Structure 1
Amino acid sequence: MLETELTRILKIQYPIFLAPMAGGPTTPELVAAISNAGGLGNLGAGYLTPEQLRSMIREIKQLTVQPFGVNLFVPEQLVESEETIGQMADHLNIYRVELGIAQN
């Protein structure tokens, strides 16, 4: 009943996702616990240094062999050209078509 196309793709048992809480209470132990319980643990990594991120991923991998996610974002506002944004939108449309998501 809880198995869906998404759970099969992600190789998880339940459609439960840990919110990636960058700068918040997310720990490797919490990420691994959610993954070990059949959901998808997610590490909020937006404010981590590359060294911290490597360390936390290694720690998660020691605690679980199950899938988990890493959420990255850029906290600063970057300026990109319309051409670059359009090229990326075109690239992402490949995945949108595959997943049945409306194209931009």
Structure 2
Amino acid sequence: MKRGAALFADGAGRYAYVSAGFSWPAFFLGPLWAVAKRRWYLLVLMLAMELCLWFGSQLAEGLQREPLVLLMGCMELSYLLARGWYGNRWLEASLRQRGYAPVLPGA
């Protein structure tokens, strides 16, 4: 197991493994990652954010304002990076809320 990774268990004997560090699946897949992890509130939040960014990008392109298009591109990149940086933390927090507790060191 990687350094800083953790294994979580709940009272019913179900286990979940959470890696430490950057989450490449969350970075590249976003909402599909949330579905695969069965984190429905994350899915709703990600879809809402992506919808807002999509509308903002469409507005920026429609207005033909280059600084606004650049700003929207930076916002989309920032959102992708935030998903990657915080994906595993969000997963761990949701597991703890659902009654999972760390089993192995690193949590």
Q: TM-score range by the shorter chain?
A: under 0.3
Larger proportion of helix = 2
Whose relative contact order is higher, 1 or 2, with alpha carbons under 8 Å and at least 6 apart? 2
Larger Rg: 2
